[in-house]
Amino acid sequence: MKRPIIIALTISCAITTGLILSKSSWETLQTQRQAYNEKIQASRKIETDRAELLKKTAQLDSPYGKEQRARELGYRKPYEKPLTLD
């Protein structure tokens, strides 16, 4: 009767000791996982920003984009007359 109780206590002490000793490892894992997720989010944001910049660059490099930007800056074609509102 005493032997099974001693075995159960020994096993429970071993499990408890293992859990206590591995606590710092689990905390380190959690910290590393959080840092990894933050890096992934930053990387995705950079990729999104890059795609947006590539799209803007392609638009501005096209003839239509160049003309549109020039008109925003006040340029006009030589044969066009400025529109004035009286």
- How far, in Å, CA of 59 to CA of 45, rounded? 21
Is 15 a domain residue? no
Report angle CA 67, 68, 69 to the nearest 5 degrees. 90
Q: What is the pTM of this model?
A: 0.56
Distance between CA atoms of residues 75 and 71, nearest Å: 5
69 close to 62: Cβ distance less than 8 angstroms: no
Does any domain span residue 16?
no
Structural domain contains residue 3: no
Total domains, the chain: 1
Question: Is pLDDT of 1 > 80?
Answer: no
Distance CA 59, CA 49 (A): 15
The 10s digit of each residue's pLDDT in 50-86 is 999 999 999 889 998 888 888 888 888 888 887 778 6
Euclidean distance between CA atoms 11 and 8, whole angstroms: 5
In which domain, by residue range, is 62 found?
23-71
Q: What is the pLDDT of residues 10-37, one digit of tens each?
A: 999 898 888 888 888 889 999 999 999 9
